A and B are shown apart, each in its own frame.
Chain A
Amino acid sequence: MARHDHGAPPSDTALRVKALESLLIEKGLVDPAALDALIDTYENKVGPRNGAAVVARAWSDPAYKARLMDDATAAIAELGFTGRQGEHMVAVENTPRVHNVVVCTLCSCYPWTVLGLPPVWYKASPYRARVVKEPREVLAEFGVTLPEEVEMRVWDSTAEIRYLVLPQRPAGSDGLDEAELAELVTRNSMIGTGLALIPGAARAKTEAAE
């Protein structure tokens, strides 16, 4: 099947969007400054650094972690992260026995408030179709191989519920403060297609899969 979930779009799409924007502005339905502000928000302000701060706090503060696991929406809001596509958050914790992975098989539901907008692969058919059926094979494509005895749990997001994976705190991270811990938390580690970085590991290498 011809699928092009990313790549160069046909040039008439750009024209179609331009035409639509110009009509909506003319009709007073959108404000160009508000559009620029929305783009700035999602390109520069909301993103996986928010989620990393949540994870680092949970690693550092057992009381916070308990609140996160009990009511993730409220615990995330404590750090100031609220808004659309994050109204009903659930945190799922990775342990030596259980590894959680998040998908949206039907579309692209994703926790915008903590991770920003989803990457292309998350929205494309191979991930959506396969991770529910063969999570270990899919994880291997991200460079993650887990022992056979680790139970895989795949969470299918809905329009309402959005999941945040709490990755395992890596070995060798004792004594790091929250800001240093947050540096170890990659976007993929909060989706479940990656693991938190080991302190001192080459960051560039691990980020390659992002």
Chain B
Amino acid sequence: MNGAHDMGGMPGDGPVEIEQNAPLFHAAWERRAMALTVAMGAHGLWNVDMSRYARENRDPLGYLEDSYYERWLYGLEVLLEENGLVTREEIAARETELSREDV
């Protein structure tokens, strides 16, 4: 599949942005997104190729605008929905509940 993720040799990029003393994660949610993805992968319902397809089979702009772990999150949500485990409606409803609690 050719898509926005197929970046080798693509023109238009500037210098590599090398962050000094970079932390492994740049926000608390990135840790959770990584762990959720790895933990769900361990169930064996999908493999690494299916995970990548779920992350990459999307509109190019969405892929490019997402940060790395946002892409993981997008892919995880696709796989959860495809496997009938969690729907987008459930996620949206839970977000609403949680945001009410936070207020």
Contacts and interface: CB of A to CB of B under 8 A. Distances in A.
A and B held together in a complex: yes
A63 interface: no
B24 A24 contact: no
Given A30-B40, A35-B36, A159-B48, A19 B9 contact: no
By size class, the interface of chain A is 35 or more
A132 interface: yes
Given A1-B12, A117-B24, A120-B22, A105 B7 contact: yes
Interface in B12-53: 12-22, 24-36, 38-40, 43, 48-49, 52
Contacts of B103: none
A13 B34 contact: no
B53 to A, nearest CB: 11
A207 B10 CA distance: 29
Nearest to A159: B48
A210 interface: yes
Given A23-B90, A24-B36, A120-B26, A2 B16 contact: no
By size class, the interface of chain B is 35 or more
A146 B75 CA distance: 39
Contact of B95 (A16, A36, A105, A125): A16
B65 A2 contact: yes
B6 A105 contact: yes
B79 to A, nearest CB: 12
A129 interface: yes
8 contacts: A3-B65, A20-B80, A29-B43, A38-B34, A119-B19, A125-B64, A126-B14, A159-B48
Interface of B: 5-22, 24-36, 38-40, 43, 48-49, 52, 55-56, 64-65, 67-68, 70, 73, 76-77, 80, 85-86, 90-92, 94-95, 97-99
Interface of A: 1-9, 12-24, 27, 29-31, 34-36, 38-39, 42-43, 84, 103, 105-108, 116-117, 119-121, 123-130, 132-133, 138, 141-142, 156, 159, 207-210
Given A133-B8, A138-B16, 17 more contacts: A2-B64, A3-B65, A4-B67, A6-B68, A14-B29, A17-B33, A18-B29, A19-B97, A39-B35, A43-B31, A103-B8, A106-B5, A107-B5, A119-B22, A120-B68, A141-B15, A210-B21
